Every structure is written in C-alpha cells, then in structure tokens.
Structure 1
Amino acid sequence: MPCLASKISKRVLALRAHKRASTLIWALTSGCQLLLLAKAVTVAVAGHEWPWPTPEHLGAVGLVYLYAAIVCSLASLSVLRHSAEALIKGWEEHSVTSRAEVTEPLLEKGAADAGQEGADRRGTITLLLHYSSYDLPLLLLAFSAGAVAALGQALIPFYTGRIIDYASIDPDVGQFEHTIVLLILVSLGCSIFTGIRGGFFTVCMAKLNVRIRTRLFDSLLAQELGYFDCTNTGEITSRLSADTTTVADQICLNLNVALRSLTQAAMVLVFMFDASWRLTIITFISIPCVILLCKVYGEYYRELSKAVQTELANANSVAEEALSSMATVKAHAAETSTRHAYQQRLRAFAVLQLKEALAYGAYAATNTFLPNVVNAVTLFYGGRLVLDGRMSAGALVSFMLYQQSLNSAFQALGDVFSSLSAAVGAADKVIEMIKRVPKVPAPGSLAPSEFSGRVELQNVDFSYPARPSLRVLNGVSLQINPGEVVALVGPSGGGKSSIVKLVERFYLPSNGLVLLDGRDVGVYDPHWLRRRVALVSQEPVLYARSVRRNILYGLEEDDGEAPGSVPSPDEVEQAARLANAHSFISDWPQGYETDCGEKGTTISGGQRQRLAIARALVRRPSVLLLDEATSALDADSEAVVQEALDRLMKEHTVLVIAHRLSTVMNADRIVVVAEGAVQAVGTHEALLEAGGLYANLVRKQLAGSAAGSSASLRAVTSSASLQPFSPSL
C-alpha cells in the first residue's frame, strides 16, 4: 500500500511539473512577443523613412526588412509555444498511460475527458461548417456584397478628409462639390450592398435552421425506445426548439458580422497605411491585446453557456412534466410543490446567467477602454505630426475616422467571438444528439411472402436501460403457435408487458432470442413487420388529425407506402365496424373526417380504445398483441371493447395480457408470469385443478363477483391468502 501511494504521488508531482513548465513557456514567449511589439512601436515613433537599405545610410536595415523580421519573430514564438505545449501534453499523456493501473482512477479519466471534449468541439465546428456548405453560392454572393460594402465604408473617411482639406486647408470649390457628390454615391452604394449582404445571410440562416432541426429530428426518430426512458422530454424539446434556433441564428448572424468586419478591417488598414504608416503601426499594436482578451473570455463564456443551456433544459423538463399532466397536479393540489421545483431550477439558471452578465460586463468594459486609450495616443502623436508639418489636418481627420472604423470592426469581432462561443456551446448538445448512434442495431430488410405468425421466446433475460441493475425477465421461454390465443396473467411488475415490448422490438433482450416464424425479430423490415404484428396498448394515443388518418396511422404514402397498398376508405370503415367504432364515428357531424384533437383528449376512453383496435385491424395482421386493452375502461365501455376483442381473437395469433376472467377462460393457454419468470402454464381447467396462484385468483374473483364487483382478476386479496406473491397485476 505505501508503494502504491508513492507511485500515485510521483504521478501527481510529474503532472504538476508539466503544468508549471507549460505556464513558464507561455510566460516567456508572451513576454518576448510583447518586447517585439514595443520595438515595433519605438521604430514607428523614432524610426527614419527608409523602406529599404541604401548605400547612403550605412547600417540602416530598412523598415521593410525590420518589420518583416519582427513579424517572423512573432510567428516563430507562437509556433514555439504551441509546439512546446503539444510536447508537454504528450509527456502528460505518457505519464498517465504508462501507469494506468495505478493512476487511472485519479488522472486518466480527466485526461480522457479533456481529449474527448476537444474532439467534440472540433467535430461540432466541422459539422456546422458542413451544414453551412450547402449554401456556399449564397454565402459567396453575400461575401462579395459585403466586400463591396466594406470598400465603401473605407472610402467614406477618405472622402471626408478630402472634403475638409478642400474646404479649409486648401480651398477648392469645384473639388469640394465633386467630392461631396462622390461621398453621397459611395454612401448609397454601401447601403445597397449592405442590404444585399444582410438579405443573403438571413436566407442562409433560415435554411441552416431548418437543416439542423431536420437532422436532429431524424436522429431522434432513429433512437431506441430506451433512450427516451433515460432522457427527459423537456430536455429533448429544448434542444429541438431553443438550442437549434440559437445555433442557426447566432452562427449565420455572426458569420455575417465576422466577414463584414474582417473585410472592413482589411480595407481600412490599406487606407490607414496610405495616410500614415507610423500611426497605423501604433494603432495595430492594440490588436493582439483585444484578440487575447477575446480568447480568454470566449473559453470561459463557452463553458458558462453550456451550463446555462443545461439548466434551462432541466427547468423545461419540470415544466413539460407538469403541463402534460395538469389534471394530476390539480387533483392532488400539488401546485405549490410543482411551482417550487420549477423555481428551484430557474434559480440555478438565474445564478449562471448572473455569472454570464458579470463576465460580459468585465469584457465589455475592458474592450471599450482599450480602443479609447489607443485613440488618445493616436491623437497625441498625430497632432505632433500635424504640428511638425509631416501630416495634413484632413489626413489626420481621415485617419481618426479610419481608426474608429477599425475599432468598430474589432469590437464586432470580439462580440462575434463571444456569441459564436455561446452558439457552439449550445451546438455541442445538439450535435451530440444528432451524432448519437442508437444502441439497438438497425432492423433488417427481410419481407417474406408468407408469414404464419409463430412467436417464440428462448431463454430471454431483460433489463430496462433506465434500470440496468434490475432484472425484469429471467430466462423466460414461451412459444405461441399460429392461430393460438395465449393469455399472460400475474402481478404488476412481473414482466408481462416487457414480453410484448420485446416482441415489438422496442428493446433488445440481454440474453436469449425473440423469434417470429423461427427468425430473429430484428431481421425483418420494420414497415413489413408492423403490418403483420399489431399492438393495442392499455392507453392508446391519438393525434391531432382526422379519425380516418388516425386509423391509417403509419400506412399513408408519407410513411413510405406505395399508393396501391394504402388501405381504402372502405377498408378503414370495415376495420372500424369490426372494432365496434363505426356507429359512434357515424354519429359525429364530420364522420371519419372529425379531428381527434391533441392526444385524442376530446374523445372518451372507450372510443379511443376502439379506434386503436381499428388501427390494428386495418393492417390485417397475423399477430395481435393486446396489452391490457380494457383495463382502464369503465364497465360499459369494457363490455363493448371486449366484444370486439373476442371477435378478433378467433382469427389471429394472439398474445393477450388480460385481467377479465372471460378472456382468460377462452384462451388456448394461460401463462402465469411473476418475478420475471414463467410460474405455470396450462388451460383454465388444468390450472384450476392444479390449484396455486391461478386457482386462488379465480376463487377471489368469483367471490367478488357474487358480492357485486366486476369479474376481474384484479380483485384485492390479502398477501397471506395468495402465496407466494401478490395477485394484483
């Protein structure tokens, strides 16, 4: 143990040494770069006007050579710093991986997370650029219009300075009026091309927004059901609505501003050098300070933005949960606790936004102060040049206007950097969802011409992804022959519904096989399979569309069905008749074109259940899966729905989870499922003769029926009378 502690201590000390070395290298290289910038300013103030070495001035290097050497030195120091940091990082990774068995719990995870985060960021930016590349022609047009507008922005200070010279320094009425006309024309052209640039970028923004939303929604549709068990609906909707809008709007808007600002800065610098190269050098020195500030701030702001988006998604999740079950909230008078939970999430969100505000305030104050200091220095030195006769007053005015334009360009670039950091922070989660690979393998494409409907489970183990440590099924084996009706009974949580979900391939078993006609359920084409295997669940969902389209759900041309394979109106009506639904549909004023409303909440439970049965029947399936299709209904509705189910079970292979005694009695076989295993199998009579759980259930139910209760296997019984487990489903 002391040896292990010593090894861990050495690894920690080594990493600390690497960190100190990296900090020292950064400080030395940054100090040298600052000295070089100071030298550039000194040369600009006190240097001679010799661009090249001349024989007349021995020892003179020349301004071109001198500044070229300064730029090369600055670049070399940057390369040296990055190379040294990469080398130290490599030593760190080697130090971690060389003793993985010792340091993995302490160090390796952090290094791996940091590497993964960097890879994720690169992947996010790359994918966003890829999505934007589809609009490359529009972006090129926008950039071209922006370049023309930037040239106009640079010409406005130029003509302004000329106007001042022609009006006061060197009066010339003709040139004064001519320059005024040029200034107006340049301003008009600049405004026109600015509008063109903005319009094209707005179109690109809208198209990128649609493209990201489509990709994200496609990815969500492809995910396995277990993903939605483990992910809050509020988080998903927040990514799909707020985050996608943030990403698309911010990226296109800031790309627009960034291209405009860069082009404007480049144009302005040309005119500034023409006006005074000395003043331009002094002004340009402020750029590294602004860039460094933007880099440090952008990294911090990016992390804050990601945390803000996460907290907002958590708050949306609480609101979504409450709003989607408002009847339950009000029924239990839980408004106060729900409000408290939502406010608690919002408080965390507000704290992070406060940090964002403080960070932005500090950044904005500094970024505003630096340009003003540069303006003051420029005015001081430029005024000295005018007093010495080396620069005209008009040229100084033009230069100050150039400098303001340059400052605004770099100010915009700083804002762009912070906004893009926020957008990329929001994009990380969106792109993470888009790139997520479903854990359930993609289904096959088998679509055989014949399908008998034999269902088989072979030694199946299963746990839900949300509770991987809790085993729901333990070695379940079951076979349902074509045309056979098999009923599953047992306590709630025993695994009955899980068997149905495995047959539907909503989940994959941990071990064992789920077979249809002797083949794994995953080899079949999903559209073909959903026509042969139909599900009627306990709480069916209807959508805000007509009754006819709800019955045809998944079988329309938009679902990939050929026009000839879409069930006709007569087939829809026939399915409704078999489900005992045609009569009440016909009573509605609009009949089969009646809108069901959101989630079918305007329709009674019994009517929804019969529409769900019609939805299953219109597929003409070979296998019917009935998951407690009548358990949530009142006695009258249950009788009507059960009549439809009894009629269906005579013509299909049926796996039914039921609590109604008449359904269970009529089944070919009854399977008692409890604690994730098959406890007993047999007919109604055989299980009664064998005694045990099923016989106790029937006796209790008959006793309850005699006392006036409904004939249900959900009769309340004492745990002592029904061993070894509770009979309630």
Structure 2
Amino acid sequence: MGRLAVSAALFSAALIIEAGLVTFLTFWPIGCELRRVDSLLGFLDLYSIDSNLDVWVLMLLHLLALPLCFIRVAGLIRRHRRRYANARMAIYLICYTTQMALLAKAVLVAVFGSDMLSPGRHGESGLIYLFAAILTSLVCVFVEMLSACALVSGWEEGGGRRDEAGEPLLDKTDPAALQRQSTVAMLLSFSAQDTPLLLVAFVAGAVAALGQALIPYYTGLIIDYASIDQRFEDFQRTCLLLVGVAFGTAVFTGIRGGLFTVAMTKLNVRIRTSLFDALLRQEIAFFTSTRTGEITSRLSADTTTVSDQICLNLNVGLRSLTQAAMVLVFMFKASWRLTIITFILIPAIILICKLYGAYYRELAKAVQNELAEANTVAEESLSSMATVRSHAAEDSARAAYQHRLRLFYRLCLKEALGYAAYITCTTFLPNAVNVVTLFYGGNLVLDERMSAGSLVSFMLYVTSLNGALQQLGDVFSAFAAALGAADKVVELIQRAPQMPDPGGLQPGAFSGHLELRGVEFSYPSRPDTRVLSGVSLSVAPGEVVALVGPSGGGKSSIVKLVERFYLPAAGAVLLDGRDVGLYDAKWLKRHVALVAQEPVLFARSVRRNILYGLEIEDGVPAEEVPSSEDVEEAARLANAHDFIMAMPQGYDTDCGEKGVSLSGGQKQRIAIARALVRKPTVLLLDEATSALDSDSEAVVQEALDRMMKDFTVLVIAHRLSTVANADRILVIAKGQVAEQGSHESLAEAGGIYSALVRRQFSKTTSSASLAASGRSSYVNLPSLNTLAPAAGAVPRPKDPL
C-alpha cells in the first residue's frame, strides 16, 4: 500500500472514531434530559462546565474545517506550490488551536467542575465521560494532523508528474525519510543484542523511579505528623522509612546507571567494528575519492557521539519516563484538580521539542561535517609534516585549519543560540506552572479541601515531573543530534562496494600466465580521461616483462588492474586464461605478490611486517603460516637478513609508524621479503628502486635479479638500467603499447625507447616532450654510437639519473 493510501486511511479512521466516540460520550450521559428538550433555549440550558457539549461543538467545527484545507489542493499542479504550504500551515493551525481549546476545557473542569464521576441529573456528564471525550479528541486530532499533512505533501510531490501510462504520480519515496528509517532500524538492531541487559537496567530504573516518587509522599506525611496531627511515633517511623527509601533509590539508580554504561560501551564497540569492517570492504576508488581525515572522523568522533548519546539518553529517557508515570499516579492521588492544571505544560514542551529537534538535527549534521573537514585539513598537514616544514608552509597550513575552525565555530554558535532559546522556554514554562499550582493549591488548603503536607508533597511532585519532562526534552534534542551523526555512519556501514565480490576459485595448479586483452580503463574519479586504450599484452610463465615509458602513460594502472584494485571498462585481465575476478581474493594475493614504489610498513616487528597478511588472524591455517625459517630465507633473498640481524632485537625490532625507524632501502628490502615469503607465482614490481639512492638501488637490484628468474615477473621501471636484462620490454605511451622487444632491438630502433635511453644519458628531452611528440621528434637526437662504445651496448652508470 502506498504512502498516500495509508495517510488517507488513517485520516478517515480518525475522523470516524472521533465523530462517533465524542458524540456518544456527549449525548449518552444526558439522554434523559434531551428527551425533555423542546426548544433551542432548552438545549442551551443543558450546557454547563460539567457537560461535553462544548467539546462536541469544537469537534464539529474542526471536522468541517480540516478537510477544506486539502480538498482544494488535491488536483493542483506544481506551479501552485505555495498553496500546498498554505494548506499545511492551515492544518497545523486548526489542529493546534483545537488541542489548546481542549486542554483549556480540561483546566476549567479541574478548577470549576464538580467531583461527580458519573452523570448527574442536571446535564452533568461526569468526570469519566468528560475526560474520555477530551482525551479521544486530543488523540484523534493529532492523528488527523499528521495524516492530512502527509496527504498534502503527497499531492505536492506527485503534482504535474505522470507515469508511463499518463496517470499522475501520487506517491514518492523520500530519500531523507528512508535514511532516517534505516538509521533508526540499524541502531535498534545493534542495541537489540543487549536486550537482557537493558531489561534489567529498565527494571532497576523503574524501582528507582518509584523510590523517587515515594520521597515527596513521605515528606508530606512528615510535615503533617510534625505540624498538624503532631503524632511523634508516626513521625519517627516515617522518617526511618524515608531514609530506607532514599537508600534503596540510590542503590537501584546506581545499578541502572552502571548497566546502561556497559550497554553504551558494547554499542560503541559494535558500531566501530561494523563501520571498520564496512570500510575494509570498500573498493580502492572509494579511498581515493574520500579523504582519510573524513573517514577517521566518522570512525572516531561520530561513532562515539552515536553510542554515547544513544545509551546515555536511553538511560535518562527511560528514567524520566518512568519517573513521570510514577509521579503522576501520586499526583492524582494527592489532587486530581491540581494534576490536570499541570498538564498545560506538556503540549507546550512537546511543540518546542519538535521544532527544536528538527532544527538541531540538521545543524548537528552540518557541525559534524565541518568538523570532519577540519580534521581532514589537520590530518593532511600532520601526516606530511616533513613536506610542510621543508617548504616553510606552516602559516598556510595554520590558515587553512583556522578557516575550517571558523566555519565550525559559526555553526556551533548557531547551535548555542538555538539551545539558549530552547532552554529559556523550557525553564520558564515549569516555573510559570508552579506559580499557578501554588495559587490554586493554596486556595484548596484555605478551603480545607487539602492539607498543607499534601500541598508540599504535590509541589515536590510538580518539581519532579517538570524535571522529568525537561529531561525528556533534552533527550529528544540529544537523540536528534545522535541521529544526525549516525546518518553518515550508517550510510557508510550500509554502503555497498562498487565492485562485484571476487569469486572463490582456488586452483590446484597455477602456472602464472598473465594476459590483458583489449583493456580500456578510466579511473572512477576521472571517468572522462582514458588511461588505457585497448591494451593487449601477454606474460608467459617464468618470463620477465618490463613496462617502460613516459610518466602518465598507464604502466601502474596495468598493475592495479592485475591486482584487481579496479575493473576495466572493456576487455579482460586474465590469469591462466581466467578472469582475475574469478579467483578467491586471499588466494590471489598469495600467488600474485606486489612490491610497490613506496612500501608501507606498520608499527609492528620486522617479522610481523614480513608476515603481513599471512598470520592466523588473517584466516590463514596454522600449518600454512610461514615459519621463522621461511621468514629468514625470504629476508636473505631480499638482501635484508644482515641489516635485520644488526638491529638491537633482530627480527623482533619494532619498525615504528610507517617504518619511520628504517631507511628507504631497508624498507624496500623488507617489502621484497614480504612478497617473497608468500612464495608467489607472479611478481609485480612497480618502480621498486626508483626512490632509492645508488647504493641502496644496487643492493635491491641485486636481490631482484636473483629472484626474478624464478617467477613470472611484470616490472615497471623508469631507470632503464634495471630492466635491460628483461626477456621483453613493452613501451607504454598514451595508454597503448607503442613498442615491444628486447633492450638491444629497441635501443637501435630509433623510437620512444631509444629516445628514453638517450635522455637518461644526455638529458636533452623531457618526458612530456616524448609523450607529446612521438617518434618524429627524435630524428635530430645524436646517434647511440656517439653515446655508447658499441651499437646496442648501452653501459649502466651507477646513477643513470
């Protein structure tokens, strides 16, 4: 059933129920008197403050006026949008005016009405029928207001729009509403796991609320026993009871608070774990388009806000709700008339909370977003402090951070002003009601219809009720803030990765034949920029193939596609004739190892950095976890064993955050050992030596030359000396395979590779010129014979660049 159909059904049901029940509750008690009425004046004579006739007339007026507000806009189109807004405003005005009039009627009955519960002989309806009619109208008017506004909004959204059959679209899904529903549903599912704990906490809170309600009751008795009846034994006994109740209330309050704190911590852990798991599932493109500072802000600040606010305010909300319920029972016992008067506070607080909650929710989301932006700026500068310091850019970094903080401050200022106005209203209203209650209660004491102790007890009840209602208002606004922060967290948790899940293929035999067929690729962040255009290449098992060419040609993109960081727009990336997406992800990363240009080490021991991804925590069976001998063998192959053993704690030495305690060459050799310990079949080397000095490059290159003969190797290099011994060299330029062949054949061909060789010796032409001009720009370059002793024999300098 659509949203409009549900709204129409609710509106119709509320109208029918209100009309039927209020009419019955109005005329049934005065049925006998109605039979004797023979004129309009006789009918008016039946009216009194103790009758329901005014409630019935009020019901008729708003039932006639309410449908007129949206009947006129049912067939309007979108150009009359202001009429829709006016119709909603009229509905709110009619409904709120009706509810205020009903509450005023209840107050008049409490002040001037009789004490008769059942109908009287002179047209009195009796308190039961009176308040039943008032309560029925209040509830039905509220339902009518919500459903009527939903109808108007539905017509507005569907106005002027047609479906394929030409019919008007009368229903539409609200993304914001769906997000709120999804957020609330997920938070409830997270909290549902702690239901037993929350139930015990709720029971403890209910007992504590009962104790809080008994304290004013015994206080009033003590005042009566001490000043009016002067019964010393009852006075002492009641004092002892009061002490016992206070102690029990404190104990159960502590139990409730402790249990809710435990639930809050468990919810915090649960949300953080779910969010972190969701982030780990996301594709690489998500992390390139989303800044790290924003992600860490969601993972730290927002999750804490959500868990703390949800559990803390659930604790306060349940406590306040049970406290209000208990207090109301004792208030009615003390004086039902005074109790009705205090109810004029409730609708005012509900209205203020509703308006403030909607405003605060949106403002809280904006504050969280601005704080995330500020954290992003700070994280970017702090994580690259060496670059900031080397360029003396501290002032600009400070200015950027302060700019974000100024925007954050402005939003917080608006938040503070709104909160101040909210607190002003919710503080004044209870005090105003206290004055009215004291005035009327004092008159009851003077008329000897109420004792002084009962009035004191009632005022304590009012204070307790006002505090509970004010806390409920605070809980409402805090929940709005928590939902504002939770929207983004839940959105990230529910975000589906934009890549299909990998397959589960784990073949027993794997030769490592790598192939790209007609691959076209663009990065998701730059969909209009073609990086690879129909690239096809093949690397046979045991073959070493090098990719060279100008920067930005697409070499590293090929490696990223083989690693399945991205999906090609067209074509296929195959391993042993199967698409890489068919293989199990963990199996694939163990048989296809990557050594990147800038290896990242973690704040753990050297041994655990080499074993990264191959530990029991990674789901690797214990018998398949590489042994210490395997780790040392991989380190020896990577020329890393000697410097590792020279460290204070050998393989147990901590590398520091991002390997800060190691040099570039040492980090690179540990990264090579990390790849080799997997005993891969395919080895991907992406600029593995480009960031090293000459000595470190020589050591790392020696390790690479020793091991490349045992694997299928795809190596990317700008330093051509590192790939001269490759079986084949492919020149990648402008997203295509421009040339391929051996080092000697390409060096003498006079093409792009030949020009790259000349540039590394003579530095006559830039990479940008090479990429832009192609082969035709190389004809004026000096011949290779003038740069090398023999044709095709290019010597390898120690530092070619």
Q: How high is the TM-score relative to the length of structure 1?
A: 0.94
Matches within 5 A, 1:10-21: 11-21=77-87
Q: Which entry has the higher C-alpha Rg, 1 or 2?
A: 2
Q: Which residue of the partner structure matches residue 108 of structure 2? A: 42
Q: How far apart are 1:254 and its partner, in Å?
A: 0.4
With 654-663 and 274-283 compared, the bigger mean Cα shift is at 654-663
Which of 153, 162, 165 pairs up with 2:221?
A: 162
Identity of aligned residues (%): 65
Displacement after TM superposition at 1:99 (Å): 8.0
Please state whether the residue corresponding to 2:552 is helix, strand or coil: coil
The match for 1:538 is 597
Deviation of 1:700 (Å): 3.1
8 Å CA contact retained: 1:142, 1:201:
yes
Q: Is 1:491 paired with 2:550? A: yes
SS in 2 for 1:227: helix
**Gap regions ≥5 residues in structure 1:** 1-9, 705-713
The number of aligned residues is 703
* Contact kept? 1:693, 1:723, Cα under 8 Å: no
Q: Is the 8 A contact 1:41 1:281 kept in 2?
A: yes
Instruction: Determine which of 152, 163, 168 is the counterpart of 1:88.
Output: 152
Q: CA deviation at 1:564?
A: 0.4
Q: Which amino acid aligns with 1:181?
A: L
Partner of 1:69: 133
1:627 paired residue number = 686
User: 1:536 offset after TM fit, Å?
Assistant: 0.3
Please say if residues 317 and 472 of structure 2, whose CA atoms lie closer than 8 Å, have aligned partners that are also in contact.
yes
Residue 625 of structure 1 aligns to a residue whose secondary structure is: strand
Please name the residue that 1:549 is paired with: 608
User: Which residue does 1:401 correspond to in 2?
Assistant: 460
Structure 2 partner of 1:52: 118
Q: What is the SS of the residue equivalent to 1:445?
A: coil
Query: Do the aligned partners of 2:553 and 2:735 also contact (CA within 8 Å) in 1?
Result: yes
Partner of 1:304: 363
Structure 2 gap ranges (5+): 1-75, 779-799
Determine whether 1:655 maps to 2:705.
no
AA paired with 2:774? P
Matched, 1:390 2:454: no
2:142 corresponds to: 78
The reply to whether residue 374 of structure 1 matches residue 433 of structure 2 is yes
Distance in 2 (alpha carbons) for counterparts of 1:326 and 1:685: 44
Q: Which residue is equivalent to 1:582?
A: 641
| Counterpart residue number, 2:323 | 264
1:138-149 equivalent positions in 2, closer than 5 A: 138-149=197-208
Report the counterpart of residue 3 of structure 1 in structure 2.
none
Mapped to 2, the partners of 1:529 and 1:620 lie a distance apart of 12
Contact 1:548 1:593 in 2 (8 A): yes
Say whether 1:461 aligns with 2:511. no
Matched to 2:769, the amino acid is S
Compared CA separation, residues 352 and 429, structure 1 to 2 (3 A): same
What's the CA shift for 1:29? Answer: 1.3
**1:640-674 deviations in whole A, cap 9, x for unaligned?**
00011111111110100012333322111111111
Tell me how far apart the structure 2 counterparts of residues 427 and 375 of structure 1 sit (CA, whole Å).
38
Most deviating of 693-702 and 291-300: 693-702
Within the candidate set 269, 281, 285, 1:210 is matched to 269
Tell me which of 434, 452, 474 is aligned to 1:415.
474
Deviations 1:63-113 (A, max 9, x none): 0111000000111111111221121122122215328999x9xx99xx97x
Q: Return the alpha-carbon distance in structure 2 between the equivalents of residues 255 and 415 of structure 1.
A: 11
SS of the residue 1:33 aligns to: helix
In 2, the alpha carbon distance for the partners of 1:481 and 1:689 equals 25
* SS class of match (1:402): helix
TM-score, normalising length from structure 2?
0.85
Q: CA deviation at 1:12?
A: 3.6
Rounded to whole Å, the distance in 1 between the matches of 2:88 and 2:483 is 27
Question: By how many angstroms is 1:680 displaced?
Answer: 1.3
Letter of the 2:98 partner, please give it: C
Matches of 1:675 and 1:225, distance apart in 2: 23
Cα separation, 2, equivalents of 1:553 and 1:339? 37
User: Any idea what the Cα deviations from partners look like across 1:359-399, whole Å, max 9, x if unmatched?
Assistant: 00000000000000000000011111111111111111000
Conserved? CA contact 2:332–2:339, under 8 Å: yes
Task: Report the Cα offset of residue 699 of structure 1.
Answer: 2.7
How does 1:166-185 map onto structure 2 within 5 Å?
166-185=225-244
Q: Which moved more, 1:437-446 or 1:687-696?
A: 687-696
Preserved contact between residue 453 and residue 622 of structure 1 (Cα < 8 Å): yes
Deviation at 1:241, TM superposition (A): 0.6
The answer to whether the 8 A contact 1:696-1:722 is kept is: no
Separation in structure 2 between the aligned mates of residue 48 and residue 630 of structure 1, nearest angstrom: 96
Q: Does 1:724 align with 2:788?
A: no
- Partner-residue secondary structure (3-state), 1:719: helix
Among candidates 697, 701, 709, match of residue 642 of structure 1: 701
User: 1:547, 1:596 within 8 Å by CA — same for their partners in 2?
Assistant: yes
1:430 aligns with 2:489: yes
In 2, Cα distance between the equivalents of 1:352 and 1:231? 23
How does 1:496-507 map onto structure 2 within 5 Å?
Answer: 496-507=555-566
Deviations along 1:298-329, whole A, 9 cap, x unmatched?
11001000000000000000000000000000
Distance 1:184 1:540 in 2: 68
Q: Which segment drifts farther, 83-92 or 376-385?
A: 83-92
SS in 1 for 2:565: coil
| Alignment of 1:201 onto 2:260 | yes
Shift in Å, 1:511:
1.5
CA contact (8 A) 2:550 2:771 kept: no
Give the Å deviation of 1:418: 1.0
- Which residue of structure 2 aligns with residue 708 of structure 1? none
Q: Which residue, 401, 405, 418 being the options, matches 1:342?
A: 401
